[in-house]
């Protein structure tokens, strides 16, 4: 139960990032006269001759996709990073600092069917995707200059996804990017101070309190974290202190596929729409690591009203209206089967 004290503005600490979020639950009462956006219609076709990710189609530069029948990975034709990018010119001023940043960008199609999303795929189909993530992670981590492999999915036009075909991106970089680097600092400090893992402690606390759990299985727990910034943000945590995908047993890969299925079905059911989000995994080989996934969905109160990170949030700090405990309760209350029924 949400205590009355939580109904007043307060701020909450994010121990992973080491920063704060302003929580203003009373603001959900205010009238909305801003943008209402458009509902995203589900992609109706199983094959789109114009889609550069569908099997058999041509991509830029004369590449042609094979007639793949499950997953398919290839080097991004518009890569943001290059494996042979040279070092930039040195600058005389410390104010104008640049560094070499080599990398590899790949695209992984989850399924040949253009109309699907994780929420509409079977657990067995998602399991195949988990196996492909693992193989890509192993292959890219083995490159001599690679320090970090970031797997992420941008889902839906509201998140700027350029193509509805079910796919993710995998960027392997020469430097650890800012988000995982910031988390690593705090995870290390916690381990030094407590002789235990921060996220292992956090899983135990959430399982004990039950207040912010959305769904769970033998291997994973999905929660709206205490310090969530986005209205329906979730954190998917391994129950065991697993560091990275290559450590997973077959049962743990299946459990990850299952929790991703459970969570994305609940997301779609919340506003009866193909729920947009950015999601991705944080993992690594270090003793401080604890495998987890972040889901950052933009929707606030309906299929069309999204949260904007503007004003005080750009100049001050992030702020949220709906309490994380209430967001978790709403995601728990929706049905566990997809509102469109089962696929035939």
Told to check if 111 binds Zn ion by CB under 5 A, we report no
Residue 184 binds Zn ion, judged by CB under 5 A = no
Q: Round to whole Å and give the CA distance between 209 and 232.
A: 19
- Residues 45-84, one symbol each (x = binds Zn ion by CB under 5 A, - = not), give ---x--x-xx------------------------------
Closest CB to Zn ion among residues 24, 115: 115
> Of 45 and 250, which CB lies nearer to Zn ion in the complex structure?
45
Query: In angstroms, what is the minimal distance from the CB of 35 to Zn ion?
Result: 29
Part of the chain binding Zn ion (CB under 5 A), chosen from 59-67, 163-171, 301-309, 314-322: 163-171
Give me the least distance between CB of 326 and Zn ion, in Å please. Answer: 23
Question: Residue 234 Cβ, how far from Zn ion at the closest point, in Å?
Answer: 12
User: Is-contact 330 212, C-beta < 8 A?
Assistant: no
Q: Which CA distances in Å does 182 have to 15, 66, 81, 85? A: 10, 40, 21, 25
* CB nearer Zn ion, residue 165 or residue 254: 165
Number of residues that bind Zn ion (CB under 5 A): 8
Q: What is the Cα 135 distance to its own chain's centre?
A: 19
Least distance between Zn ion and beta carbon 69 (Å): 14
Q: Could you identify the residue written with the tokens 């830029």?
A: 60
Residues between 1 and 20 that touch Zn ion (CB under 5 A)? none
Which pairing describes strands 292-296 and 234-238: parallel, antiparallel, or unpaired? antiparallel
Facing residues of 320 across strands?
23
For Zn ion, the closer of residues 51 and 135 by Cβ is: 51
Least Cβ distance, residue 280 to Zn ion (angstroms): 8
Q: Which of 167, 292, 294, 338 is catalytic?
A: 167
Residue 208 DSSP symbol: H
167 classed as catalytic: yes
End-to-end, the C-alpha distance of the chain in Å comes to 40
Query: What does the block give as tokens for 218?
Result: 């033998």
Stretch (H or E) spanning 237:
strand 234-238
Q: Is residue 282 within the footprint of Zn ion (CB under 5 A)?
A: yes
Instruction: Give the C-alpha separation, 19 to 229, whole Å.
Output: 11
> How many H-runs (helices) and E-runs (strands) does the chain carry?
6, 12
Q: Rounded to an integer, what distance in angstroms lies between the CA atom of residue 180 and that of residue 159?
A: 21
Among 102, 106, 114, 254, binds Zn ion (CB under 5 A): 114
- Interface with Zn ion (CB under 5 A): 48, 51, 53-54, 114, 165, 183, 282
Active site residues: 167
């Amino acid at each position: 139960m949400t205590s009355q004290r939580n109904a007043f503005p307060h701020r909450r600490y994010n121990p992973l990032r080491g920063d704060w979020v302003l929580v203003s639950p009373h603001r959900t009462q205010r009238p909305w006269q801003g943008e209402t956006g458009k509902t995203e219609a589900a992609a109706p076709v199983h094959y789109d001759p114009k889609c550069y990710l569908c099997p058999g189609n041509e991509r830029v530069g004369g590449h042609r996709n094979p007639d793949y029948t499950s997953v398919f990975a290839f080097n991004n034709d518009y890569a943001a990073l290059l494996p042979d990018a040279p070092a930039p010119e040195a600058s005389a001023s410390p104010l104008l600092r640049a560094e070499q940043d080599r990398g590899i960008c790949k695209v992984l199609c989850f399924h040949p069917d253009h109309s699907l999303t994780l929420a509409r795929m079977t657990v067995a189909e998602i399991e195949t995707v988990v196996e492909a993530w693992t193989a890509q992670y192993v292959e890219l981590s083995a490159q001599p200059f690679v320090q970090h492999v970031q797997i992420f999915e941008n889902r839906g036009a509201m998140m700027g996804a350029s193509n509805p075909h079910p796919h993710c991106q995998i960027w392997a970089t020469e430097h650890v990017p800012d988000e995982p680097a910031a988390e690593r600092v705090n995870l290390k400090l916690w381990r030094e101070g407590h002789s235990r893992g921060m996220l292992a402690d956090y899983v135990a606390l959430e399982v004990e309190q039950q207040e912010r759990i959305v769904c769970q299985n033998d291997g994973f727990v999905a929660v709206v974290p205490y310090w969530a910034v986005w209205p329906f943000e979730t954190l998917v945590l391994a129950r065991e202190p697993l560091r990275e995908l290559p450590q997973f047993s077959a049962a743990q890969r299946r459990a990850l596929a299952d929790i991703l299925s459970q969570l994305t079905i609940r997301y779609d059911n919340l506003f009866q729409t193909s729920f947009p989000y950015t999601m991705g995994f944080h993992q690594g080989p270090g003793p401080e690591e604890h495998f987890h996934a972040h889901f950052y969905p933009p929707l606030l109160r309906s299929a069309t009203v999204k949260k904007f990170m503007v004003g005080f949030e750009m100049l001050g700090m992030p702020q949220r209206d709906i309490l994380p405990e209430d967001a978790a309760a709403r995601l728990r209350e929706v049905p566990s089967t997809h509102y469109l029924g089962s696929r035939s």
